[in-house]
Amino acid sequence: MTIRAHQKLLLTGAAGGLGQALRERLKANCSVLRLSDRVAFGVAGAGEEVVLADLADAAAVDAMVQGVQAIVHLGGVSVEGPFGPILQANILGLYNLYEAARKHGVQRVVFASSNHVTGFYRQSETINADAPARPDGLYGVSKAFGEDLSRFYFDRYGIETACVRIGSSFPEPKDRRMLATWLSFDDLHRLVTACLTTPVLGHSIVFGMSDNAVTWWDNSRARHIGYAPQDSSDIFREAVYARTPAPDLNDPAVQFQGGGFVKAGPFAD
Of residues 95, 98, 121, 139, which has the active-site annotation? Answer: 139
Examine the residue annotation and report whether 227 is marked as an active-site residue of this protein: no
Q: What is the pLDDT of residue 82?
A: 97
267 lies in some domain = no
- Mean pLDDT computed over 13-17: 97
Per-residue pLDDT of 246-265, as tens digits, reads 999 999 999 999 999 999 98
pLDDT 10s digits, 195-230: 999 999 999 999 999 999 999 999 999 999 999 999
Residue 24's contacts (CB-CB under 8 Å, 6 or more residues apart) are none
Rounded to two decimals, the pTM is: 0.97
Of the candidates 13, 257, 17, 184, the one whose C-alpha atom is nearest the C-alpha of residue 111 is 13
Residue 83 domain-assigned (yes or no): yes
Per the CB < 8 A criterion, the answer to whether 259 and 253 are in contact is yes
| pLDDT beyond 90 at 1 | no
68-95 pLDDT, tens digit per residue, is: 999 999 999 999 999 999 999 999 999 9
DSSP 3-state of 113:
strand
Query: Residues 262, 138: contact at Cβ < 8 Å?
Result: no
pLDDT exceeds cutoff 90 at 269: no
State the burial class of residue 116 (Cβ atoms within 10 Å of its Cβ: 0-12, 13-18, 19+): buried
Q: Domain of 182?
A: 6-250
In a domain, 58, yes or no: yes
Percent of the chain with pLDDT over 90: 96
Nearest Cα neighbor of 165 from 214, 225, 116, 127 is 116
pLDDT of 2: 78
**195 is a domain residue:** yes
Looking at the structure of the chain, the number of domains it has is 1
Alpha carbon distance 48, 42 (integer Å): 11
Residue 153 included in any domain: yes
Q: pLDDT band at 268, cuts 50/70/90?
A: confident
CA distance 170 to 262: 21
d(CA 134, CA 116): 8
Q: Is residue 173 part of a domain?
A: yes
Q: Kindly state the average pLDDT of the residues 31-37.
A: 98
**Domain membership flag for residue 260:** no
Distance CA 107, CA 67 (A): 12
Please check whether residue 1 lies inside any domain of the structure.
no
Interatomic CA distance for residues 76 and 54, integer angstroms? 9
Q: Which CATH number is 165's domain given? A: 3.40.50.720
Q: How far is CA 244 from CA 180, 235, 239, in A?
A: 15, 16, 9
